Amino acid sequence: MCSVVERKIQPILIGSNKPYKDWMVSELLTFRYPFSIENMEYRILFVKVKNLIYIEFHLEDHKYYDKIRKELDLKKSGW
């Protein structure tokens, strides 16, 4: 998370009005950080309300990552 705080990882901005929990996706910033451990690929997604708090982070395999990306309107079916 240090790289996110130090602004080395740029946010993914989406202009969607799709709801995500208590916010519209357009109100959120999502940061993605990929890494691997013993040939297993992982991705961390940090989700933050613009100019406010981090509301969650996700660390899991690719299938789960795709599920969260769909909920955040970052992934369209067929991608």
Read off the pLDDT of residues 11-68 as tens digits, 9 standing for 90 and up: 888 888 999 989 999 999 988 888 888 988 888 888 989 888 888 888 877 788 888 8
From the list 55, 77, 73, the residue with the least C-alpha distance to 13 is: 73
> By residue range, what is the domain housing residue 44?
2-71
Report yes or no on 79 lying in a domain. Answer: no
Report yes or no on 77 lying in a domain. Answer: no
Report yes or no on 52 lying in a domain. Answer: yes
The rounded distance, in Å, linking the Cα atoms of 13 and 26 is 7
Report yes or no on 48 lying in a domain. Answer: yes
Domain count for the chain, please give it: 1
Exposure of 6 in the CB half-sphere (CA atoms within 13 A)? 4
Report yes or no on 76 lying in a domain. Answer: no
pTM (predicted TM-score): 0.70
Number of Cβ within 10 Å of residue 20's Cβ equals: 19
